Structure 1
Amino acid sequence: MMKKWVMLAVGILVAGFVGYQYYSSKTSSQTVSAQVRTATVQKGTLEVKISGSGTVQPVTSEDIKAKDNNNEIDEVLVATGEEVKEGDELITFTDGSDPITAPASGIVTTLSVSAGERVTSGQVIAHVTNYKDLQTVVQIDELDIPKIKKDQIVSLKINAFPDQAYTGKVASVSEEGTSSNGVSTFDVYIHIDKPENLKVGMSTEASILTATKESALYVPLDAIHSSNGEKYVQVLSATTSSQTNGGTEQKTVKTGLANEDYVEITEGLTEGELVQLPQLATGSSSSNTKGFMQGGGFGGANMGGMGGFNRNSGRQGQFSGRTGN
């Protein structure tokens, strides 16, 4: 008899514990569900950058060719590895014809002829590379190419020197693109300002500054919603707690400059207002965080008509940290 009472008591305790855990879980889920994410309308300098990866290359890397046919070489005045300046004589001929000169300053990296040999027209006899004047060539998506202009400022990260900052400027944009899997990319040539310690072939990451605006009002991208061709945000009233739902007002807005994180508000909001962001969870933190990332985070499907947000363009954005009036 005693044994039955003990088993009954254990059963009651287990049932009570399970019930408590279930109630606690439901209460926790409801609390998470009720939380509201918010952001303050701020003012600062908005920068839009387009990024691309590439490699360090010399600006000058040129074959030197013979112009005349069957000329006999009198003297070879340089050696492989020797530094030359543009216009320096490299090779002379026995018949007194015009010598071959360096087309640009640099290092003679190859030399394939010697005195007494005869050359043919168009024959490559040497190669000159300038390792002191370097550039990086990065690939940019075709949808971003119209925004890339000559002389735009570029921030460069060299993978071999992660703690060192490099800068450059856009020198030119290729007139022809390369297509792969239905997407075309174009080469953008960026001249490196001070290429100390850099070597040809090093990997680079470039951020090209394509637009900037000071004293811009801005909010996170995921604060913007779209309906019937209009954009709007949910603004919390001054008396509404940021930890509970309700108390919001829908305001129609107009947008301007935007990057992958923030969007400028040109009409409809004022600095300091509190806007509501999509919830990260509606019952289960793991499942709903996934849902946010797939269906609405950072603008999601609601960003139609915003312009400039497309297929992993590599667009970067930041605010400078200078805020205020």
Structure 2
Amino acid sequence: MDKNRKKNKKNKKWIAALVGTAVVLFVGSRIIAPKPVAYEAVEAKTEDIITWYSFAGNIEANSREVLLSDSPFTVGEIYVEVGDLVEEGTELLESGSEENPKSGIEGEITEVFVKENESVSPGTKLVSIVDYSALEVVVKVDEFELDAVTEGKEVVVRVNALNKDYKGTVESLSKEGTVMNGVTYFMAVVQLDYDDALKVGMSTEVTLLKEEVKGAVTLPMTAIKFHDDNTPYVLKMGPEGTTVKRHEENLSH
């Protein structure tokens, strides 16, 4: 009788062990087996890819003059007023000497600093002139981008206030750099074609071509994932709803 009970207990233990093993195997297989992954499908497209260098700057006048007195005199008649357009060599006011002060450039009178019958000493400001027909943009260029910004190169100048693009040309590049926060910058001057809508001080964005690829296979950035080492991959639908990784060298396949 005792022998039969011991035998039954032993058989029950074996059955329980077998059931437990079956449960573990079943659960493990469910965990290990690939599961369908829900994701949004996107379509690869063939497009041209263009990248640009971009620099910020403001419109400036590249030709301006502030006329100073070179000797003491009493101002006589003033021949110009603010807003007048003058040619180079135009007499500006009467100085009582054989030769009156003349404009050194062509441009617009922007300020008259003296009044008639006023006594002035050497070095006194008399008149300021700005040539608004010759405008430029001065931008800071990082030392690592100097190869791209060369004299004579055509650029696109975006004038934010006008929401308009203009053609420009790199006129010059400074020979000495300025260090700011550990980074060396060089100043590039971009010449602009005349447009009456352009005003000194307007903010601009100067761009020039960096790289261009024709007929590249493209995907939305949301479809591209990255490994810990920053190498890209995408997920493609595999058998039975599983996903398959396609790495950088296979992204177009």
Q: Distance in 2 between matches of 1:26 and 1:260?
A: 42
Distance 1:178 1:128, change over 3 A: same
Amino acid at match of 1:81: G
Conserved in 2, the CA contact under 8 Å of 1:51 and 1:140?
no
Cross-structure match for 2:190: 190
Cross-structure match for 1:26: 35
Q: Is 1:118 aligned to 2:119, yes or no?
A: yes
- Give 5+ residue unaligned stretches, structure 1: 1-20, 210-258, 265-271, 298-325
Q: CA deviation at 1:132?
A: 2.4
Q: Distance in 2 between matches of 1:146 and 1:50?
A: 11
Cross-structure match for 2:142: 141
Distance 1:182 1:261, change over 3 A: farther
Cross-structure match for 1:107: 108
Q: Distance in 1 between matches of 2:33 and 2:98?
A: 96
Q: Is 1:172 aligned to 2:107, yes or no?
A: no
Q: Is 1:91 aligned to 2:100, yes or no?
A: no
Amino acid at match of 1:85: E
Amino acid at match of 2:230: G
Q: CA deviation at 1:147?
A: 3.7
Work out which structure has the larger RCO, using CA pairs closer than 8 Å and 6 or more positions apart in sequence. Answer: 1
Q: Distance in 2 between matches of 1:122 and 1:24?
A: 90
Cross-structure match for 1:237: none
What are the Cα deviations for residues 282-325 of structure 1, in whole angstroms up to 9, with x where unaligned? Answer: xxx7xx73658x8246xxxxxxxxxxxxxxxxxxxxxxxxxxxx
- Give 5+ residue unaligned stretches, structure 2: 1-29, 233-253
Q: Distance in 1 between matches of 2:162 and 2:112?
A: 33
Q: How many residues are matched?
A: 201
Conserved in 2, the CA contact under 8 Å of 1:167 and 1:194?
no
Cross-structure match for 2:69: 66
What are the Cα deviations for residues 46-97 of structure 1, in whole angstroms up to 9, with x where unaligned? Answer: 98853211011112222111122x1222221111222212111102221x23
Conserved in 2, the CA contact under 8 Å of 1:166 and 1:194?
no
Q: Distance in 2 between matches of 1:295 and 1:261?
A: 23
Amino acid at match of 1:26: K
Q: Percent identity?
A: 26
Q: CA deviation at 1:105?
A: 1.6
Q: Is 1:289 aligned to 2:243, yes or no?
A: no
Greater strand share, 1 or 2? 1
Distance 1:24 1:197, change over 3 A: farther
Structure 2 residue aligned with 1:51, among 51, 54, 61?
54
Q: Distance in 2 between matches of 1:296 and 1:62?
A: 57
Q: Is 1:202 aligned to 2:174, yes or no?
A: no
Indicate the SS of the match to 1:143: helix
Q: Distance in 2 between matches of 1:199 and 1:185?
A: 26
Structure 2 residue aligned with 1:75, among 70, 74, 77?
77
Cross-structure match for 2:241: none
Conserved in 2, the CA contact under 8 Å of 1:155 and 1:206?
yes
Indicate the SS of the match to 1:165: strand
Q: Distance in 2 between matches of 1:110 and 1:97?
A: 24
Please list, as runs of the form range in 1=range in 2, the aligned pairs for 1:305-324 lying within 5 A after superposition: none
Q: Distance in 2 between matches of 1:103 and 1:208?
A: 35
Q: Distance in 2 between matches of 1:203 and 1:153?
A: 19
- Structure of higher CA gyration radius: 2
- Normalised to the residue count of structure 1, the TM-score between the two structures is 0.52
